[in-house]
Structure 1
Amino acid sequence: MTTAPRARVQRRPVHGVVLLDKPIGLSSNQALQKVKWLLRAEKAGHTGTLDPLATGVLPLCFGAATKFSQLHLDADKGYRAVLRLGATTSTGDLEGEITSTAEVDRSALTPERLQAVVARFTGPISQLPPMYSALKKDGKALYEYARAGIEVERAPRAVTIRELSLRLLPESDPATVELELQVLCSKGTYVRTLAEDIGQALGCGAHLSALRRTRTGEFELSQCISIEAIEALPDSERLGVLLPVETLLARHARVTLDEHNAGRFLSGMRRRGPWADGAQVAVHADHPAALLGTAHVEAGELIPGRLLSPIEIQQILESHS
């Protein structure tokens, strides 16, 4: 008995942003490919990775939105994590092998002591990137060296912890002492490293037992949708989960051009007008109303940045009609 060949998915131009609540167990790319398949999208990318063991906010960009994904790579991130005290692991989380253990005196974890640790790790700090990370040395990711049992020299990185809190979690197992950590931090911050450093400061060691991203930039967990929820929708309704491309440019100043100037701007020409200087500008056409791309204004001159193509603009307009 022969099996009928599997029908190929008919891809289509899709433009916009999906705020995904990434599930545990999937890499960011696996989650992206799953949603790309569900939407039958031609082109997709994400705005920074989440470890397979982490869940939470993962903005996915489709079509024209991929041109602006870099903006959210640089955004501040918020996390809620659980730190398991009394043991360190090779990876800084539950996946690794235990490398050291220590007794934990639960009664010594007073609010005053925890607050002193919070003060120590709030503001600009220096972090040594973990070996189990995607940072590259000589063209190879650090985790590849780590899996081969090789530790390489890494340079400390400056990051900023904007907000931090620690709370002792209720005892559920006499052998386990855990802290809840909530943090708002700059790009490039490793929460696993922060957990390890806090464990070291408490004198007992620590590793992550859970990690959930609660925000990235202005996007919050309450705005996100799960893969299961997208799957449950009929194919004809799935594009309804997309947010507009300009969602990624919410913090940009807005400039609107008439039809004549919009065409010239799209061809890469600078436009002069009564605009205030600014590094981040979202440029729109007034008729038909459409996003054209980004720019910056210098000495009153609008200088094109990342531009949508006329085909992308037409496809977006048609999808809204």
Structure 2
Amino acid sequence: MIERAPRIRVQRRPVHGVLLLDKPLGLSSNNALQKVKWLLRAEKAGHTGTLDPLATGVLPLCFGAATKFSALQLDAPKTYEAVALLGITTSTGDAEGEVLQRRDVDPGQLTPERLAQVQAQFTGAIRQVPPMHSALKKDGKALYEYARAGVEVERAPRDVTIHALELAVSQVGKAQTAIKIIVTCSKGTYIRTLGEDIGQALGCGAHLTFLRRIDTGGLGVQRCVTLAALEAMTEDERLACVQSVDTLLAQHERVTLDESEAGRFLSGLRRRGPWADAPAVAVYGTRPRALLGVAHVAQGELIPDRLLSPLEIQQILESAPRA
């Protein structure tokens, strides 16, 4: 009988904050989250929306109190770099799928004027048909499950917004013409579909061979740490990579309350003050300065939306570096 080595039980601990991960190729967002959660020995964790296994780049991971605000990143604009290989369409819209069609590509037709025309066509409010290889649900079942079974179902077009788009002629491998895409887009935009549609508009079809998210809601890839780097660090170095909870609240207005008002706000009570109306406010207390939660202001009233618990605030203060 083969004896199995005893499982090592990880002693979890409260960790509060945001780790900006540069997600590696081939790893799902959830697998990346679980690996980092294990490295930090964190009690509670979540991510801010999935990034395809075939994509790399910015994946904000939330721990402890930060998970209360993770949904804010779901709605944030995102910026991607992508490469669409022209002349070949695939079943998945990327290099993983089966080749459906090959067409000749005439690089001479890809003039700056032609690219500018297509760029304008896909900038602003556009409609996309979600790909079959996606996690969208139809009758309680993900579309990719139908696709794997060889079944295609009807999908309603969705309205998305392309805030900015840059197209440039590039190459993949030896003499394979491609389009490099830099796009800032709204929630719900499928970059694979965008690459396919651009290829269709150019008259030759396309599929993605590269996809990297370089920004989400103002959190850029230059602030990220790789999984390999985290694995090589000491435990204290890993904890030092965890940024404060309010990293997710950079676009919020700021309101600071005195000690008595902070206590009432944390009890869920509305506070009245000289504040202009604002849909998104990060609220802080004094002595010591600490994030209390998020709120909105309407007609001079500060109305709580999501609050940190006193225990979470205490743990954040206790884990802060000593001056």
Verify: 1:237 aligned to 2:258, yes or no. Answer: no
Q: Which amino acid aligns with 1:133?
A: S
Give the C-alpha shift of residue 172 in structure 1.
4.0
Secondary structure of the 2:293 match is strand
Match of 1:219 in 2: 219
- The yes-or-no answer on 1:114 pairing with 2:112 is no
Equivalent position of 2:250 in the other structure:
250
Identity of aligned residues (%): 68
In the alignment, does 2:48 pair up with 1:15? no
Give the 5 Å matches for 1:83-232. 83-170=84-171, 172-174=173-175, 176-232=176-232
Q: Aligned partners of 1:206 and 1:241: how far apart in 2?
A: 39
Query: In 1, Cα distance between the equivalents of 2:225 and 2:205?
Result: 35
Runs (5+) with no aligned partner, structure 2: none
Mapped partners of 1:163, 1:278: distance in 2: 26
Using the TM superposition, give the Cα deviation of residue 171 of structure 1 relative to its aligned residue in structure 2, in angstroms.
Answer: 6.8
| Equivalent residues of 2:85, 2:172 under 8 A apart | no
* Structure 1: runs of 5+ lacking an equivalent: none
Structure 2 counterpart of 1:16, one-letter code: G
Q: CA deviation at 1:4?
A: 3.4
The 3-state SS of whatever aligns with 1:316 is helix
**Partner-residue secondary structure (3-state), 2:295:** strand
Instruction: Report how far residue 263 of structure 1 moved.
Output: 1.2
1:59 aligns to 2:81 (yes or no): no
Cα deviation for residue 300 of structure 1 reads 0.6
Q: Name the amino acid aligned to 1:283.
A: V
Q: Which runs of 4+ in 1 moved over 3 A?
A: 1-4
Letter in 2 for 1:249: L
- Whether the aligned pair in 1 keeps the contact of 2:58 and 2:215 (CA below 8 Å) is yes
Map 1:17-56 to 2 at 5 A. 17-56=18-57
- Provide the residue aligned with 1:264 in structure 2: 264
Deviations 1:138-169 (A, max 9, x none): 21111111111111111111111111111111
How far apart, in 2, do the equivalents of 1:293 and 1:139 lie? 35
SS at match of 1:169: strand
Tell me how far apart the structure 2 counterparts of residues 171 and 138 of structure 1 sit (CA, whole Å). Answer: 39
Question: What's the CA shift for 1:218?
Answer: 0.6
The AA in structure 2 aligned to 1:319 is S
| 1:34-85 deviation digits (Å, cap 9, x = unpaired) | 1111111111111111110100011111110000011110010101001011
Using the TM superposition, give the Cα deviation of residue 2 of structure 1 relative to its aligned residue in structure 2, in angstroms: 3.3
SS at structure 2 position matched to 1:103: coil
Amino acid at match of 2:277: D
Listed one character per residue, the Cα deviations across residues 213-235 of structure 1 (whole Å, up to 9, x for unaligned) are: 11101111111110111111111
C-alpha distance 88-157 of structure 1, shift in aligned 2 (>3 A): same
- Equivalent in the alignment of 1:287: 287
The CA distance in 2 between the partners of 1:43 and 1:286, in whole Å, is: 27
User: Who is 1:296 aligned against?
Assistant: 296
The one-letter code sitting in structure 1 at the alignment partner of 2:96 is: E
Letter of the 1:5 counterpart: P
Pairwise CA RMSD of aligned residues? 1.2
* Structure 2 residue matching 1:173: 3-state secondary structure: coil
Q: 1:109-149: CA deviations, max 9, x gaps?
A: 12221111111111111111111111112211111111111
Question: What displacement does 1:237 show?
Answer: 2.2
Contact 2:86 2:178 (8 Å CA) reproduced: yes
Deviation at 1:3, TM superposition (A): 4.0
Distance 1:4 1:205 in 2: 53
SS of equivalent to 1:154: coil
